[in-house]
Structures are given as structure tokens and as C-alpha cells.
Amino acid sequence: MRTIEWKNDMKNGTITLIDQTLLPGEYKIIECKTVSALCEAIASLRIRGAPALGAAGGYGVALAAHTSTTTSFEQFMRDLHVAAETIKQTRPTAINLAWGVDRVIAAVRESSTSRIDEARRIALCEAVAIAEEDVQRNKRLSRHGAALFEDGDTVLTHCNAGRLACVDVGTAIGVIRAAVEAGKEISVISCETRPLNQGSRITTWELMQDKIPVTLIADSAAGSMMREGLIDKVIVGADRITRDAVFNKIGTYTHSVLAKEHDIPFYVAAPISTFDPARLEHDVVIEERDPDELRRINGVMLAPAGAVVYNPAFDATPIRNVTAVITEDGVMYPAQPDWWSRIPTS
Ligand code: MRU
């Protein structure tokens, strides 16, 4: 099963997705039959990870097209735009979500159709294309990245940039898997990734399923492990890459500084859809999440009720801390003055 799929049903079509909030305890597929159900799933991280959110955005617009009940084409397009804005606002940092939404809206608009049934078909075709491309791009990216890893490497990763963060395959974990498939022995250090534990719950689970050796650590153990020479490389995914910074799960910046201090290569794996040529670091909104994610876990209090909390979901790593960015078009080195010129601008 892919992380997210479209299922044709008797009525309007349904988005099915793996509910990642339940992993690793339960593997459950849920159905989103309305845009508001999809928005709830995105906001509560049932579906998460930048490339998966790109697919969710695309399928979300297709769902809006299929559930709009109007017979007026003008009203139909208005319905699509309202849905598009609602979906985009669920999570602001990963650029892929808005990218997926905008791509499907553009496909409908550029078709110049004024027939609702035709617009529905076009929207769904484009959403399916986004999902299919994600799988193919991640396979290419993984092959490019695998060459950077050596037999015997121990690799630290943060959060989850595996197949569950994408439609399939994964980015950072896709690279590790491709290196293993190429015959290299790689072991992984998976940071737990507080507060929502995508590292312990999802990355560790994915790697164990793949039978790739993985050791779970508390986020705060990374520094001393690097100092003791226990980490050879770091690889993470990205939610957005501007010319000057990589946005990824909170804690990524800390790992990048530690890696620099200990002369450890720091790699970022992301498809071109994650690049944002229009913005710089300070233009990007970092999502702040519910304080209760830090105050309690499964109903158990971890802090006094009402404790003041700051809970940003992402941070920015200056591009100078990044050794290489691995994309489906090859490996790019930010230390090279012209590296950004290889990024498509549209
Ligand atoms: O809050 P999340 O779980 O959506 O955050 C996900 C990450 O930060 C991933 O590292 C990133 O999206 C890259 S996924 C290939």
C-alpha cells in the first residue's frame, strides 16, 4: 500500500491513507471522503512528510472537484479555489503541500475547459501524476545519494524521511535503502524526534521492516555520539529549501552544527519540488504547534498544566552547514558558487 492513494467509489471518489499517528502500534488505513476530513488528517499528522503532503494537496483538489455539487462552472471553480486555500493553510512550512495544490488548480485552469466533468477528470489525472512522479523521482534521488555512502557507514537521521513521508520509497531513507541494496552494510542511528516522535515511531519501524540495522537514540544523545566517533554521516529530508537555508523538523539545525564541529558530512535529500526559488530564510513561516504536544503524552502530564510552551515544528539550517543536497537530478554542492543555478525556477 502506498502512503496515500485515490480510490474510485460509487459516488465521488475517496482518498485513502495510512494513519501515521497510530504507528507503530496499529497499521490502519483511513478514508477521507471530504476536504475537511483531509484537512483534519493533515493538521493532525495522520499524513505527513513533505512529499506525501504534495500528493495530499493534489488529491485534495481532485476531491474538491469530485464533491462540488454545483452545476455552474464558475461556482465550481470558486469551490476549487476555496478548497485549495483551506488545504494550503493546514500546514505552512512544507512547500510541497501548496505546490501540489497549485499544480492541480493550474492543470484545470490551463485546460481551458468549461465542463465540470472534464475538469474533474483533469484534476484527478494531475493528482495521480504528482503521486506517480513522486515515486519515480525518489527512486532516482535514492540511486544518486547511495553513491555517497561507504560500506560500513553508521548514519544518523532525524524525523522520518522514509516511504511514509512520501508516496513511496522515501528520500533520506530511500538513499540508505538504495545503498544497502547496492551491497553496502549501513547501520542507522534514528533520533526519536520529540515531541511527536516520528523518528522512534515511524523511521525505526520502517527500517526494522526493511531489516536495516537501526538503533534508536534520544535526540540529545547525538552530540556525544559524534564526539565519540560513532557517526560517519548525517542524512535528513527537507520541508523547504531556499537559496540560503534548509527547513526540516525541529532539531535538524542542532545536528548540522554538531556535524560541522565534528567534520561529519551533513546531507539533505529532497526532490526538486521542495525547492523554493522565490523566498529566502526569513520569508518562510515556521509552523508552531499545540503546546499540549509538549505538556502531555497520551493523557499523562509531562509538565504542569498551563506551563508556558514554545513548540516550533521546524527549524532552518543555514545552507553553509550542508555538505550536499541530493535530488532526482543529481547531487548538488552548496559550497560551489553556482550550485543554485541548477535548480529549475518554475
Ligand atoms: O511534521 P512532519 O512529520 O510532517 O515533518 C516531516 C519532516 O520534517 C521530514 O523530515 C520532511 O518532511 C522530509 S520528508 C521526506
Query: Among 139, 162, 187, where does a domain finish?
Result: 139
pLDDT of residue 346: 56
Euclidean distance between CA atoms 250 and 255, whole angstroms:
10
State in Å: Cα 45 to ligand 1 middle.
10
- The residues with which 92 forms a beta bridge, in sequence order, are none
- Tell me the HSE value of 187 on the side-chain side, using a 13 A CA sphere: 9
Ligand 1 atom, smallest distance to 94 CA: 12
Co-location of 188 and 321 in the same domain = yes
Tens digits of residue pLDDT in 301-310: 999 999 999 9
Q: Which pLDDT does position 257 carry in this prediction?
A: 99
Question: Any idea what the CATH number is for the domain that residue 273 is in?
Answer: 3.40.50.10470
| pLDDT reported for residue 343 | 86
**In the predicted structure, residue 130 carries a pLDDT above the cut 70:** yes
Q: Say if ligand 1 is within 6 A of residue 83 CB.
A: no
What is the model's pLDDT at position 161?
A: 98
Q: Is 315 in the pocket of ligand 1 (CB under 6 A)?
A: no
Q: What is the pLDDT of residue 55?
A: 98
Do both 88 and 169 map to the same domain? no
Q: Which atom of ligand 1 is nearest to the CA of 314?
A: 8
Q: Would you place residue 342 in the very low, low, confident or very high pLDDT band (cuts 50, 70, 90)?
A: confident
Terminal-to-terminal C-alpha distance of the chain: 31
Determine which residue's CA is closest to atom 10 belonging to ligand 1. Answer: 237
Q: Does residue 238's CB lie within 6 angstroms of at least one atom of ligand 1?
A: yes
By most ligand atoms within 8 Å of CB, the mutation choice from 46, 239, 274 for ligand 1 is 239
CA angle, 204 then 206 then 211, to 5°: 90
pTM for the model: 0.97
CA nearest to 86, candidates 142, 39, 30: 39
Of 73, 106, 139, the last residue of a domain is 139
Q: Is 50 in the pocket of ligand 1 (CB under 6 A)?
A: yes
- 137: cell is 523521482
Residues 43 and 174 in one domain: no
How far, CA to CA in Å, does 232 sit from each of 45, 134, 191, 192, 317? 31, 28, 15, 19, 19
Query: Angle at the Cα of 313 (from 311 to 318), degrees rounded to 5?
Result: 115
pLDDT at 331 over 80: yes
Is the CB of 162 inside a 6 Å radius of any atom of ligand 1? Answer: no
CB 198 less than 6 A from any atom of ligand 1: yes
Tell me: do 74 and 205 sit in the same domain: no
Distance 157 CA to ligand 1 centre (A): 12
Q: Residues 305, 294: contact at Cβ < 8 Å?
A: no
Q: Using an 8 Å Cβ cutoff, are 210 and 142 in contact?
A: no
pLDDT digits (tens, 9 = 90+) for 77-108: 999 999 999 999 999 999 999 999 999 999 99
pLDDT tens for 259-270 read 999 999 999 999
Pocket test for ligand 1, best of 20, 157, 160 (most atoms within 8 A of CB): 160
| Adjacency order of strands within the sheet including 330-332 | 214-217, 187-191, 154-157, 233-236, 266-269, 324-327, 330-332
For 91, the grid coordinates are: 500546514
Q: Mark whether 239 is an active-site residue.
A: yes
Residue 72 shares a structural domain with residue 45 = yes
Please give the residue range of the domain that contains residue 262: 147-342
Max CA distance (Å), the chain:
67
Does residue 94's CB lie within 6 angstroms of at least one atom of ligand 1? yes
167/132 same-domain check? no
For residue 114, pLDDT over 60 is answered with: yes
173 lines ligand 1 (CB under 6 A): no
Please report the sign of the dihedral spanned by the C-alpha atoms of residue 20, residue 26, residue 28, residue 34. Answer: negative
β-bridge partners, 190:
157, 216
199 lines ligand 1 (CB under 6 A): no
Average pLDDT of the chain, as a whole number: 97
183: left (phi over 0), alpha (psi -120 to 50) or beta: left
b/e per residue 88-106 (b: at least 16 CB within 10 A): bebbbbbbbbbbbbebbbe
- pLDDT, mean of residues 23-29: 98
**In 10 A of CB 167, how many CB atoms?**
26
30 and 131 both lie in a single domain: yes
Q: Are residues 63 and 82 in the same domain?
A: yes
**Among candidate residues 139, 157, 184, the one where a domain is terminated:** 139
Distance, CA of 94 to CA of 51 (rounded, Å): 9
Pairing of strands 266-269, 324-327: parallel
| Residue 158 Cα: closest atom of ligand 1 | 10
pLDDT at 288 over 60: yes
Is residue 129's pLDDT more than 90?
yes
Same domain? 188 vs 117: no
Are residues 257 and 214 both part of a single domain? yes
Give distance in angstroms: CA of 50 to centre of ligand 1: 6
Residue among 134, 219, 239, 315 flagged as catalytic: 239
Task: Kindly state whether residues 62 and 180 are assigned to the same domain.
Answer: no
CATH of the domain at 19: 1.20.120.420
Q: Name the domain count of the chain.
A: 2
Distance between Cα 251 and ligand 1 center (Å): 12
**135 and 151, same domain (yes or no):** no
Closest ligand 1 atom to Cα of 171:
15
Tell me the sheet residues that pair with 188.
Answer: 155, 214
